Structure 1
Amino acid sequence: MHSRDVRPPPIAAPPDPLPALLQQAIDQAFNAVMITDAGETDHRIVYANPALCRMTGYALHELLGRDPRMLQGPQTSAQVIAELRSCLADGRFFKGSTFNYRKDGSPYLLEWNISAVRDASGRITHFVSVQHDLSALATAQDAAAVFARALDAAEDGVLICNPQGIIEFANRGYEKITGFSPVEILGHKPSIAQSGQHSPDFYATMWKRLQQGLPFRSVFINRRKDGTEVHCEESITPLHNLQGELTHYVSILRDITARVMADQAFREQLQYDSLTGALTRSSGSLHLESAVAQARARGAALSLALLDIDHFKQVNDSFGHPTGDKVLAKVASTIASCLRSDDKIIRWGGEEFLLVMPGCDASSAVATLERCRRSVQQACDGLLPLSVTLSAGVGQVAPEQVLSDAIERIDQALYRAKQAGRNQIQTAEP
């Protein structure tokens, strides 16, 4: 028997795994994918991955065989769609963005690109579209834009600095407060507006708190672009990212210059007598105590004097209190014009003034009082039918003397000047 040559059957080649892998990749892709045919007039959907179904709200069977125009609506840009059709007709790549609509009618911002698919002969058979829903990003960008506009429109000044203290953002409120525009200040440090009114310790304390991650709040005296000072109530807060790393410093400042000036004016009203311009007795007493302490610390002389307008009751009784007030004001301003810059005049009583003359010995103090006495008599000449004169007592505060005792001795000297005929100066006994 003739034997046959028995050969094993050929082993079939394994199927190409690429199509299955591509199908899995597209089905599981994060971006939405749609494939349409290349019909003459319409383009029918032949494939949509799960991501596209989730994005549009349509089930797969509701999309297959339909024209993608089903997803367009009132906010879909006609210009973008016209460009899309032009690209498809020419077989060119398309990329664009506009609004489409979900099954429930809600719009979403879509970014997509479309590529032509050609067969072996180069004929276009399909179009593949990769799409991405930008609604969340657009919402975040809109919110950020609104936030930026809100910061820019705020009346308070806002500065944002990087960790090196370089300004990266300044709003219009900051320009309104300081006069520095964002263009002028970006890339600089906030020290561009420093006035020099704060000590190095002030800034050391500020940086110590900020480096500890704590906010710093204080009143800053800054300098405007025109050189004038501006008082700002300011808070500086360090910002950290999710990893706890410092990313920025945010400073919010409010112009309180008007309030500070009003407070200072009010304090001055309390500090100075409104009629004469002299220190009030309460504020003058504080100044007097300070002058005594400084004189003792330096071992310097300190002279005090009490001056009284002679026969002032007669002025009020004969010519009325308004005229008496004019005399008081004139006397006070005349005395002040005779004093040195360091000397102070205090309205000690109704028509009585206390002079504080630091660094002034007995003879110089008497000379000053003589000048005051003569000047007052000349300045008030013609103000009244009678002559306006002063009596005064003057003395020095001894190093170990109680202040009240020194004033008592000087008051006794004033009394002697009155008893001796007025319009004269008496020196207090040691």
Structure 2
Amino acid sequence: MRHANEPPALAQPVLDALLRADIGLLVLSADEQYVIRHCNALADELLTPHVGKIVGRSVLDIHDQLGVSNDRFLAGLEKARQHGEFRFPLKLSAKDGEHLLDARVRVTDSSDESPAGYLFVAIDRTALAASEDMRGTLQRAVDQSPVAIIISDPQGIIEYVNACFTQNTGYTAEEVVGQPAGYQRSGQTGRETYAALWQALRAGRDWRGELLNRRKNGRLYWDDVHIVPLMNAAGKVAHYLSIQEDISERKQNEDTLRLWATVFENSGEAVMITDAGNRIVSVNQAFTDITGFAPGEVIGEQPSILGSGRHEPDFFADMWHKLKTGGHWQGEIWDRRKSGEIYPKWLGISAVRDNRDQLTHYVAIFSDISERKAAQERIEYLAHHDALTGLPNRSLLADRVEQALAHAERNQSKLALLFLDLDRFKTINDSLGHPIGDALLREVTRRLLATVRDSDTVCRLGGDEFVVLAGDLADDDTAGTVAQKLLEVTLQPFEIEGHRLTVSVSIGIALHPADGDGFDILLKKADTAMYHAKDAGRNTYRFFTEQMNINVVERLFIQNRLQQAVANQEFVLHYQPQIALGTGRIIGVEALVRWQNPELGLIGPDRFISQAEESGSIVAIGDWVLREACRQARKWADDGIDQLSIAVNISTLQLHQNDFADQVLRILGETGHDPRRLELEFTESILIHDVDRVIRQIRQLKAAGIGIAIDDFGTGYSSLSYLKQLDVDRLKIDRSFIRDIGSDPDDAAIVRAITQMARSLRLKTMAEGAETSEQTRFLLAEGCEDVQGFLYSRPIDAAAFLRLFQESGGYFSRPSSTGMAAS
């Protein structure tokens, strides 16, 4: 009996119709013994290739062939008998692939209670399943896409966003779905961009572009955007698909690449890139400017095309060793330009490796240091030579004399120092001008060099004073013969720029070993003898004798008075303003000592400082000067002038006192002066002896905030390495270089070299002896920061300086053709 809720059994007419119909169904009918009695064309098409003929065969046999479980089949038939129908899935393999069937079995009508048979009906769901799989795959692809995907309706209302959108923007789908698009707008993309975007979309066209957007956290980022209108069957826009890729990193890399490309091409330093095989692959414009080679002439070549041939193989072996072990090398190297000129350059080479630590390139950066080396060599040269004549200076002469004395001791020979002073040179210099005087000095130099032997040394001490060192003399008379020749060549007229000039010299001679065995004593005695030659009527020479004591007595007289002057406090300070060239502001003063002698009146330092140094009284004088300068500076600060720095000259003897630094600090403590407003000036001679102790003293002063300046720079013993160790703040360019910078190219070149070197060493510069606006304009153009000289003010006493400062407001006007006046 059939239950009330069972589906009715199929009648035979219905079965016949199903078997004939072409409705995409697989239809089989079987009797109560499971023998197949009928099948339609589709069933035959699918099953026959696998199991052969099917009509008249048992379903159970066919299942065995297909590997289908008959137990499950019979259990299914039982359910069909109970409920009238049973549904089950079925997989069949065919020539065109696997088929997925949705199958049903129903019981057919019979005349009694036993079933008349069974009807099997199945529909092929293969295409539908594949379509659903594809849809799922596409959905996952969109959801998991590495770029942001936004779908909106025609009005721009967001309908969908994927996970990448949330990752890029910080907005979740819940926050944006149903809202108008535009959450990411930064406000920094031009309106014209959005106008073009909507114009394209409304016309049914795609739009591509880059937009500067803003994340939820407020940070800006770049999107590469592609928006596509999606059309419906009617050709109308149904949706907009927006694909957005965060390209912030790429943009940053592009900006960085553009920046580096600009730096590469516009760098003042040459850049050369080679591959791992050391073949040139790229050069910049500076490379061409320096070497003369165009890119096409060197790309593909090895850097050896630039070789000068001046370096040994060991030099390059060491270079490559450091490159391979440390990845970097730098140093000075000589190369050859395309023109054939050999020049020095400073070269740095770095090895470039990829993320797998594989060598890919070498990058070489270099600069032409020809001018720098020339400037350094010039400064080093000037440290030991006279700038005007090129002759050795006192420092180099002292070294030559010491060597000659050692040679004389070994060979038991004699040597002579001849001290020459031009007679009445000052009259020529003052009447015809410094350029004529300088030209005369150079011509005198030429004649002196032409007269003495190559082994002799001619030195210019300064002004119109020269010294000749003559060694390996057979006897004393030979020195007289040399002196006579010098008198004769200098007495002959000089033709200088249209002027016929006649000068003579007075010569003093000191001999070794008779007159001493050291440079200083020989020079002193030669100087004494020279003054006797002048007293004898000039244009003659004199040997030193012990009776020549007039100058000695005079010096003793001054030294005795100096001792009394220290005890009686007869010294006063005058102050010369120091000016910032760029603004005209008074930035400080230099304290200059004067001797107020009761008998002789006000005496300048040139008349007593050398004797004070020789006697040692310079230490006491220097202490008084420092104390008085600090006291006066403190008083000015109390009067409202509190931004001034005060410079004080320190002698070598002072510095060589063991407690010098401590003494300076004591004076600062006693006077209350700010150490940062004190600058101590030393001459380069401090570097000749006991350098280590000098450096220790100066470092102690620097640690307290005191400024350090090298006075008369370029006229004494200069060492760049010592300048670095001393941590100097300022170089004071000697007045001898400033005087003729407008007319003497050598002086101008020296000043330029000093200022360039100072800038390279990050030192300040101050020029001494500025007397004309032309000089100050030149100094300002060359980068000299500060200046002092008669153009602004002579040294004046404290009261006069206070009036000057108050009346000028602390400023001088800029230079003019007529001079400089307080504004």
TM-score by length of 2: 0.35
SS of equivalent residue, structure 2 residue 456 = strand
Q: Give 1:19 shift.
A: 0.9
1:81-136, Cα deviation, whole Å (9 max, x unpaired) = 33333332343333222223333444321112233434456554333222101122
Report the secondary structure of 1:247's partner residue: strand
User: 8 Å contact 1:271–1:283 — kept in the other structure?
Assistant: no
Question: Which stretch has the larger CA shift, 50-59 or 260-269?
Answer: 260-269
1:36 corresponds to which of 143, 147, 152: 152
Task: Look up the equivalent residue of 1:347 and give its one-letter code.
Answer: T
1:49 to partner: Cα distance: 0.7
What secondary structure, in the 3-state scheme, does the structure 2 residue paired with 1:10 have?
strand
Correspondence 1:20 to 2:136: yes
Q: C-alpha displacement at 1:241, in angstroms?
A: 1.5
Whether the aligned pair in 2 keeps the contact of 1:272 and 1:280 (CA below 8 Å) is: no
CA contact (8 A) 1:56 1:103 kept: yes
For residues 43 and 385 of structure 1, the distance between their equivalents in structure 2, rounded to whole angstroms, comes to 103
Q: Secondary structure at the match of 1:345?
A: coil
1:248 lines up with 2:366 in the alignment: no
Pairing partner for 2:120 from 8, 12, 21 = 8
Question: C-alpha distance in 2, partners of 1:325/1:178?
Answer: 38
Q: Map 1:143-162 to 2 at 5 A.
A: 143-150=256-263, 154-162=267-275
For residue 449 of structure 2, what is the aligned residue in structure 1? 332
Corresponding residue number in structure 1 for 2:456: 346
Q: CA deviation at 1:139?
A: 2.3
Cα 1:233–1:31 shift into 2, 3 Å: same
Looking at structure 1, the residues matched to 121 and 243 of structure 2 have their Cα atoms a distance apart, in angstroms, of 45
Kindly provide the amino acid, as one letter, of the partner of residue 125 in structure 2.
A
CA distance in 2, matches of 1:188, 1:286: 52
The number of residues matched between the two structures is 342
Change in 2 beyond 3 A, CA 1:334/1:85: same
Give the AA of the match of 1:36. S
What is the 5 A alignment of 1:290-369? 330-334=447-451, 344-347=454-457, 351=468, 353=470
DSSP 3-state at the match of 1:67: coil
1:379-398 aligned at under 5 Å gives the runs 382=492
Structure 2 unpaired stretches of 5+: 1-109, 405-412, 427-439, 460-466, 473-481, 494-501, 505-823
Take 1:72 and 1:273, find their aligned partners in 2: how far apart are those partners? 73
2:194 alignment partner in structure 1: 81
Residue type at the aligned position of 2:450: S
Q: 225, 244, 248: which one pairs with 1:135?
A: 248
Question: After superposition, what is the alpha-carbon deviation per residue over 1:362-416, rounded to whole angstroms, capped at 9, x for unaligned?
Answer: xxxxxxxxxx9xx989966746999xxxxxxxxxxxxxxxxxxxxxxxxxxxxxx
Equivalent positions of 1:202-281 (< 5 A) are: 202-224=315-337, 228-266=341-379, 268=381, 277=391
Distance 1:139 1:325 in 2: 64
CA gap of 1:70–1:185, structure 2 versus 1, over 3 A, is same
Alpha-carbon contact 2:211-2:224 (below 8 Å) kept: yes
Cα distance in 2 for residues equivalent to 1:170 and 1:150: 12
- Go from structure 1 to structure 2 and tell me whether the alpha carbon gap of 1:268 and 1:74 turns closer, same or farther (over 3 Å shift): closer
Q: For residues 226-261 of structure 1, give each alpha carbon's deviation from its aligned partner in whole angstroms, at most 9, with x where no partner exists.
A: 665542222212121221111222223344333422
Query: How far apart are 1:50 and its partner, in Å?
Result: 1.1
Q: What percentage of aligned pairs have identical amino acids?
A: 25
Distance 1:229 1:65, change over 3 A: same
Kept in 1: contact 2:423–2:503 (CA 8 A): no
Matching of residue 112 in structure 1 with residue 225 in structure 2 = yes
SS in structure 2 opposite 1:68? coil
The 1-side partners of 2:317 and 2:183 are apart by 66
- Counterpart of 1:295 in structure 2 is none
Answer with 1 or 2: which has the greater Rg. Answer: 2
Residue of 210, 213, 218 corresponding to 1:100: 213
Q: Distance in 1 between matches of 2:443 and 2:424?
A: 10
> Following TM superposition, by how much is the alpha carbon of 1:68 offset from its aligned partner in structure 2, in angstroms?
2.1
1:7 is paired with a residue whose SS is strand
Deviation at 1:150, TM superposition (A): 4.7
Contact 2:415–2:470 (Cα < 8 Å) also in 1: yes
- For the aligned residues, what is the CA RMSD? 4.8
Distance (Å, rounded) in 2 between the aligned partners of 1:93 and 1:326: 88
Per-residue deviation, 1:9: 4.2
Runs of 5+ unmatched residues, structure 1: 288-304, 337-343, 356-371, 387-430
Residue 68 of structure 1, aligned match among 181, 186, 204 = 181
| Cα distance between partner residues in 2 of 1:216 and 1:71 | 49
Q: Distance in 2 between matches of 1:327 and 1:70?
A: 89
Distance 1:331 1:179, change over 3 A: same
Distance 1:168 1:325, change over 3 A: closer
